[in-house]
A and B are shown apart, each in its own frame.
Chain A
Amino acid sequence: MIRRTPAGLFLHDLKNRGLSAWTLSLLLIAFYGILYFGQYYWTPDSPCTDNASCYSEGAVCEAGACVRESQLERGQDWLYRTATVHIDELGWKLGASVDAATRPDGTLARDENKNGVIDNWEHFGNRWTIYGLLYTLGILLGGAWICFKYRHNRYQIIRTGVVMMVQTSFAFSLPILLKFFHKPEYYFSYMWPLKIDYLDPRNFAYYGEGLVLWGFFASLAVVPVMTLLYGKRWYCSWVCGCGGLANTFGEPWRHLSNKSSNAWKFEKVAIYTVMGVAFFSTALWFASAVLPESSSLHAAATGTRKWYGLVVTASLSGAIGTGLYPIGGTRVWCRNFCPMAAFLGIIQKLGRFRIRVKKEMCISCGLCSKYCEMGIDVRSYAQAGLSFTRAACVGCGLCAEVCPRGVLRLENSAKVDPQELSLVSFLDESWKGASSSVPAKI
């Protein structure tokens, strides 16, 4: 029995919300917390002569430097300092070593902000470089494992290969190279509304007209056309880094997504809310750029930038999205919050992609539902013999892979199944043909 061995027991625990899974989840959330917010919370160990010259609350002067009074807070400081300054330093050194070899004039300077955090657009190493490196390694190692695990399935091999390639090039190496050549740091694998900054007029001067035009073209032309032709999978499970990490490093937890109809209800409310907020914010930013004299608009734009960054980008996509891998499955962000996924999902409903279901061959075993990372109850469609397109489906192809009777197949087909084009069908997501027999969700 696999579970007889200690390693097997541990793996089972880790993959099935055991103690080790919860621990890992907390560690991941803490990691993201420190990564995003650490720099704001530690006390600079500024030089001092007495306690009065330390301004931070609860700080005392010890051996000529301000430190926190309690040991716990000192520990926190150490952690935050390590995570920001020291890791930044490491990243900077990595960058500088490449730099020294390639740019003998040594013109690259480091700028530090008041907390000593390296804060310079030009250098190409800081904690985000280290984070990017870890992220890329996660995708590459996980991807290699996926290619091995599903070596009999060419769809999985090709898809995973593309994800690994996109991550290494567009999402990691290219931005570093761009910075190296003093060009704006641009991730071609991300686009608005996922990377909401790319259509924020405030950044247009920094990106330059070429990239801004590309940003518009990518979001408003490439995305809809590709999605109509191939479904949202071309992006969510072939290109995007969030999906990339979920489908590689996250493989051991993919089955943990909640399949209940209540989770689906939450998903629909949550994801379209975030999408609405993203669209609204962008509109607001444009308005404030067009009407620069309106101070209330300006204040609103600044406020939404801050809160969007804090809530959506840092908390939901980072801390919650990845931090909850071992507890809620790998696509918590993609399924419930990603504005890009919501946008793509709506277009997918109008396009050619579907999961084709062979009639009558389903044995209701439920492996498809179990291993759907988006929490789609695939079985409810399969056992009713209904081909379907769900807005959430990212086309990872695992339902078709695990199906022991070969009932499911992902396909792009010009053949139109009857689908009601109404708000009701977007929300209920049932095919018109469904009502004649057993409903998809009994």
Chain B
Amino acid sequence: MKIVIVGNGVAGVTCAMTARQRDPHAEITIVGGETDYFFSRTALMYSFMDRMTRRDLEPYERKAYAEQRIALLRDWVIDHHADAKTVHLSSGTTLHYDKLVLALGATPNRFGWEGINDVKDGLVHFVSMQDLDACERLTPTTREAIVVGGGLIGIELVESLLHHGVKVTFLIREPYYWPLALGREEGDIVTEQLRAHGVQVRYMEEMKRIEVDAAGRVSGVLTNKGETIPCQMLGICVGVRPSIDRLKAFTDPPQLSRGVVVDETLQSSLPDVFACGDCAEIQPIEGRSYVEMIWYSAKRQGRHVAANLFGDQLRYAPPIFFNSSKFFEVEYTTVGEVMSLPEGTPTLFRKHPTKPLCQRILHNGDRVLGFNMLGSRWNHEILERWIRERRSPAWVVAHLADAQFDVEFGRANLASCIQRELPLAKELAR
């Protein structure tokens, strides 16, 4: 069987590795134009901060691909014929497939800001290897930078720039940091961290116009408050969307909406064409379609699609949500539903009087629904199990220490956290 996987990101490579486990004889080819080898996108910031070389970002030894007999092609797919079952590459090569997997990933969003078309240099995103190239090229000539967008990528870029001694202004449209995932209290802790590191954080402020110098390099940003902030580098981190633009020009594109529309078996509208990872928009039989755009789900979908390539017809259902991150020194773990719950959802909020340490436990009076934990390490597997087991909030609070995952001797002191009732409040912009 000939399997062609488009995209050498985590979804594509996981799919290839899993398919190899399943079938020792399949002919597996990965086509990816970004880099020669799969790298960990999530670690871009550590490379930018000189903590890792680029080679260190590669999760598998290079010889692993040969050992697993996975062919890597550094190329872009430019066309697809569904009847002939072929994809056409920009180098002129044509690949025939029995099963095609689209693992195209995502592209950074850009909105119609005034002046964006005049920008020739100085504007960066922070999701691809080419973005890292640009960041490293621009940093030595940058004294002041502006990062737009208060999410995970934004704060990573801010931290990296600070490491290089750049003065950073962080423009955030929302009233506090990342209200999509954090409550006001957690957001404020992150804000404290940002300000302690010397970041100019500006909430409820948006970019209105980008200004450029004579050479076309970004020279400043006019905000909606009428102020012009000078900068030599502008980081745009306002989310990503499935990378499907290229597909629209194909002879036979699969059905597209926000992403590549797939059913619960991750199969697209075309026979033997699958999609997984950031680019897949999953349309369940009932309910709304969704796109999962995090590392773990890409890995999970990659594994899932590999099984379905061999006719398993497994239906994909995302497990209880979890995610983690680190804001400077403050670690963050979330499990279950948090900010997606309706306003007023009963919440136990526990916070240390002085340290950046807090736990938010959401429940419906009867059973816990979600956790937002900041400032210490947690075993999400246990928190997840408690949600599944429908544990009561009182029980969870009594057993909270069982789910701690801090280093030995370094267990966070939960007893010193002060607990109060704090029904969920939402302050999304607009």
Contacts and interface: CB of A to CB of B under 8 A. Distances in A.
B46 interface: yes
Nearest to A360: B296
Interface string A134-155: 0000000000000000001111
Given A261-B61, A365-B42, A366-B57, A2 B326 contact: no
Contacts of A101: none
Given A4-B165, A442-B68, A364 B59 contact: yes
A154 B163 CA distance: 25
Given A155-B408, A367-B46, A358 B380 contact: yes
B408 A370 contact: no
Contact of B43 (A1, A2, A364, A411): A364
A404 B296 CA distance: 15
Contacts of B380: 358, 361
A359 B300 CA distance: 12
Interface stretch (B26-34, B48-56, B84-92, B274-282): B48-56
Given A438-B17, A442-B60, A358 B379 contact: yes
Given A363-B42, A404-B326, A442-B68, A154 B410 contact: yes
A242 B42 CA distance: 35
A404 B43 CA distance: 10
Given A2-B163, A370-B52, A361 B407 contact: no
B407 to A, nearest CB: 4
Which bracket fits the contact residues of B?
35 or more
A382 to B, nearest CB: 10
A410 interface: yes
A442 B66 CA distance: 11
A1 B140 contact: yes
Given A363-B40, A406-B333, A406-B377, A158 B409 contact: yes
A215 interface: no
Contact of A367 (B43, B64, B324, B405): B43
A395 B300 CA distance: 30
Contacts of A400: 407
A367 B52 contact: yes
Contact of B56 (A158, A261, A366, A401): A366
Nearest to B378: A406
Contacts of A367: 43, 46, 51-52
A410 B377 CA distance: 13
A442 B17 contact: yes
A411 B40 contact: no
Contact of B40 (A4, A12, A360, A365): A365
A405 interface: yes
Given A2-B50, A406-B378, A153 B407 contact: yes
Nearest to B331: A406
A62 B36 CA distance: 68
Which bracket fits the contact residues of A?
35 or more
A153 B40 CA distance: 26
A406 B335 CA distance: 14
Contact of B409 (A154, A260, A401): A154
Interface string A291-331: 00000000000000000000000000000000000000000
B322 interface: yes
A110 interface: no
Contact of A363 (B295, B378, B407): B295
B228 interface: no
B207 interface: no
Contacts of B300: 360
Interface string A373-400: 0000001100100000000000001001
A185 to B, nearest CB: 34
Contacts of B333: 406
A260 B406 CA distance: 29
A409 interface: yes
Contact of B407 (A12, A154, A383): A154
B18 interface: yes
Contacts of B10: 364
A411 B58 CA distance: 28
Nearest to A156: B407
Contacts of A410: 407-408
A3 interface: yes
Nearest to B40: A364
Interface in B1-37: 10, 17-18, 21
B257 interface: no
B325 interface: yes
A397 B56 contact: no
Interface string B321-341: 010111001010100000000
Interface string B288-313: 00000001100110000000000000
Max count, chain B CB within 10 A of own CB: residue among A2, A12, A367, A442 = A442
Nearest to A365: B43
B46 A365 contact: yes
Nearest to B164: A1
Nearest to A401: B407
B312 to A, nearest CB: 16
B392 interface: no
Max count, chain A CB within 10 A of own CB: residue among B57, B380, B381, B407 = B407
B107 interface: no
Interface string A405-421: 11001110000000000
A158 B408 CA distance: 10
A257 to B, nearest CB: 12
A12 B50 contact: yes
A438 B409 CA distance: 33
Contacts of A380: 59-60
A284 to B, nearest CB: 41
Contact of A2 (B21, B165, B381, B405): B165
Contacts of B58: 366
Interface string A333-350: 000000000000000000
A405 B324 contact: yes
B193 interface: no
Interface in B350-398: 377-381
A99 B188 CA distance: 63
Nearest to A5: B165
B164 A358 contact: no
B139 interface: yes
Contacts of A406: 324, 331, 333, 377-378, 405
Contacts of B18: 438
Nearest to A366: B56
A19 to B, nearest CB: 18
B216 to A, nearest CB: 23
B422 to A, nearest CB: 25
A151 B364 CA distance: 39
Given A155-B408, A401-B407, A366 B59 contact: yes
A395 to B, nearest CB: 10
A1 B165 contact: yes
B119 to A, nearest CB: 23
A410 to B, nearest CB: 6
A361 B296 contact: yes
B21 A3 contact: no
Max count, chain A CB within 10 A of own CB: residue among B51, B140, B379, B408 = B408
Given A1-B139, A406-B333, A361 B61 contact: no
Interface in A1-21: 1-4, 12
**Nearest 6 pairs of A and B residues by beta carbon:** A365-B43, A406-B377, A154-B410, A363-B42, A1-B164, A364-B59
22 contacts: A2-B164, A2-B165, A4-B164, A12-B50, A154-B408, A154-B410, A358-B379, A358-B405, A361-B380, A365-B43, A365-B57, A366-B43, A366-B52, A366-B59, A370-B51, A380-B60, A406-B333, A409-B408, A410-B407, A411-B408, A438-B21, A442-B60
